[in-house]
Structure 1
Amino acid sequence: MKSPVTVGIVQQQAWPDKPQSLAASEAGIRDAVQQGAQLVLLQELHATHYFCQYEDPAVFDLAEPLDGPTGQRLAELARELDIVLVGSLFERRAPGLYHNTAVVYDRAEGRVGQYRKMHIPDDPGFYEKFYFTPGDHDAARDEGFTPIDTSLGRLGVLVCWDQWYPEAARLMALAGAELLLYPTAIGWDPNDDAAEKARQQDAWTLIQRAHGVANGLPVVVANRVGFEADPSSVGAGIQFWGGSFICGPQGELLARAGETSEQLVVEVDMARSENTRRIWPYLRDRRIDAYGELTRRFRD
């Protein structure tokens, strides 16, 4: 990967109105580029509200193919601004088959790869299994935990719930990822007290910084902001906490956002990954001969 690389994050509010949400994404991208960003990461499902708070078959009408209007608009922005852009699509792959997909656009080359979210949650307020099919895992077809090559380097792109699984980050690192990126949509239940909210956000930040430490890689995380009501009126809605951040290969925070819409732009010294791995050689000392039972659900 080229070093240094100036990385930008767009942290924004989003709405059911797709043009309004995409206009906010575009404004954030342009602002980040004006600050020098060469690589820009958008949050999960930035083109719409977080519709997974409820189950409604009509919501599938929001989905688009990879090269639909939203994909074309993101590709045009990457080409015009001469950047690598990582966006998010509610993808319609085939009738009745939908994915939560991160898509990578590389300057004038257009779309150079996509990653379909592998871990799909199903919790109150996060009913994603109703909408999303997990991505396939087939390294030979560049699917699943496979980095995406760009003009700036090899990107290990994962999505939201994937960020809690060390296996996903490790597999990306073992496949040569030079940077881990997590577009995200996570927030608080308004009914939780302040102590519980702090525990949740701290755990979220900590686990992703730990992926950087364990793999000797920088990590870039983009989360959404703002309160989004549950359209079904069953739940209390979600207060998305923002907190987007960029950390280095020892988990050190390079920049962190607050709870409102903003852009983070930071120069990342990619050469530090090599130097860090020489001192902390976790990949060298892994006992790959002893890890076979990791493929079991549980060791009874």
Structure 2
Amino acid sequence: MATRVAVIQWHIKNLDMPANHQTACTYIRSAASQGAKLAVLPEYHLNGWEPTSPLWREQARESQSYLTSYASLAKELNICIVPGTVIEEHVSEEGKTIYYNVAYFLSNTGAVLGSYRKKNIWHPERPHLTSSSEERHVAFDTPIGKVGLLICWDLAFPEAFRELIAAGAEMVIVPTYWTPLDAGENARSYNPDCEKLFLETTLTSRCFENTCAVIFANAAGPQDRFLGLSRVTMPIIGVLGSMGCEEGCLVLDMDMELVRIAEENYKVRKDIGGDEWHYVYR
């Protein structure tokens, strides 16, 4: 039941969509040549994080053309792709222009099998992005199993994972743009590596407490401004493989039998689906 997957990270160039797209395609081709059935890119992989620039917003209108390109590449290489996230421009019911941060799952046929609009918006993002609010987290069938999508700060909310696991997700894919500077100076004065600690511990916890695989792809770059740490974590064994801050493509074989064994031991899914489940949220 092994599934070969690739997590990809690099130093994303702000506002340079063609260059970032070319880099992504090069790494996806490398992953496919190594037998990967899935390639996952970081959040904001096309234009980085520069939301105060008018160009950043203009580029949101170009995202669909890049998704079409990735769909063609997926079909050509016979590989599923989660192309990180893209920024999309929409018009609200009130006629206001709004922007969503969206992750897609593209099958090896080029079809869109699922998508997810970021729900839990990180505090500095809130002036620029709109939350999916009360839209449900949905798991969907793919050639590599039942998948759920989350984005970056969603990782901090166990409820997001629980809803996906209740829907049957066997693996949760999390494109991310998480940096060491996301913690304020007061937090870093106690522990300069607190964000690294947050990611390493939380990713392992989530796979154990939900009996699922977690695929995490983050941006990379200079260590004073980026974390990297793209990885795959599995219940029972923890970290299957991880990168540091370097640019590259990490290809790993996930033994999905571990998900079955974890559930057999911990019975988390059984409890969540039972009539006597204890927790109800507003």
Cα shift readout 1:228-248 (whole Å, capped 9, x = no counterpart): 9xxxxxxxxx71110111111
1:290 to 250, 254, 278: 278
User: Would the aligned equivalents of 2:236 and 2:258 in 1 still touch at CA under 8 Å?
Assistant: no
How many pairs are equivalent?
A: 271
Post-superposition, which runs of at least 4 consecutive aligned residues in structure 1 deviate over 2 A? 55-59, 189-197, 282-290
1:212 to 207, 212, 215: 207
Specify every segment of 5 or more residues in structure 1 that has no aligned partner in the other structure, as ranges. 139-143, 229-237, 296-300
Identity of aligned residues (%): 25
- Between 1:34-43 and 1:196-205, the stretch displaced more is 196-205
Cα shift readout 1:144-178 (whole Å, capped 9, x = no counterpart): 31013212221111000101110001110110101
- Between 1:187-196 and 1:87-96, the stretch displaced more is 187-196
Pair 1:51 & 2:50 matched: yes
User: Would the aligned equivalents of 1:223 and 1:242 in 2 still touch at CA under 8 Å?
Assistant: yes
The 5 A counterparts of 1:101-180 are 101-122=102-123, 127-138=124-135, 144-180=136-172
Specify every segment of 5 or more residues in structure 2 that has no aligned partner in the other structure, as ranges. none
1:264 to 250, 254, 258: 250
2:177 matched to which residue of 1? 185
Q: Which amino acid aligns with 2:70?
A: L
Q: Which amino acid aligns with 1:20?
A: A
1:141 matched to which residue of 2? none
Structure 1 Cα separation of the partners of residues 168 and 131 of structure 2: 23
1:79 to 53, 75, 79: 75
Structure 2 Cα separation of the partners of residues 104 and 220 of structure 1: 13
Q: Which amino acid aligns with 1:267?
A: D
Pair 1:253 & 2:252 matched: no
> Shift of residue 250 of structure 1?
2.9
> Shift of residue 32 of structure 1?
1.3
Residues 11 and 155 (structure 1), Cα distance of their counterparts in 2 relative to 1, 3 Å cut: same
2:126 match: secondary structure? helix
2:11 to 10, 13, 16: 13
1:64 match: secondary structure? helix
> Shift of residue 285 of structure 1?
4.0
Residues 99 and 180 (structure 1), Cα distance of their counterparts in 2 relative to 1, 3 Å cut: same
1:235 matched to which residue of 2? none
Q: Which amino acid aligns with 1:283?
A: R
Pair 1:93 & 2:94 matched: no
Root-mean-square deviation (CA, aligned residues, Å) is 2.3
> Shift of residue 105 of structure 1?
0.6
The two structures have a TM-score, normalised by structure 1, of: 0.83
Structure 2 Cα separation of the partners of residues 136 and 274 of structure 1: 32
Structure 1 Cα separation of the partners of residues 180 and 99 of structure 2: 26
Structure 1 Cα separation of the partners of residues 150 and 35 of structure 2: 24
Structure 1 Cα separation of the partners of residues 16 and 201 of structure 2: 33
Cα shift readout 1:244-288 (whole Å, capped 9, x = no counterpart): 111112361110001010111111111221121111112334585
> Shift of residue 227 of structure 1?
4.7
1:103 match: secondary structure? strand
The two structures have a TM-score, normalised by structure 2, of: 0.88
> Shift of residue 109 of structure 1?
4.1
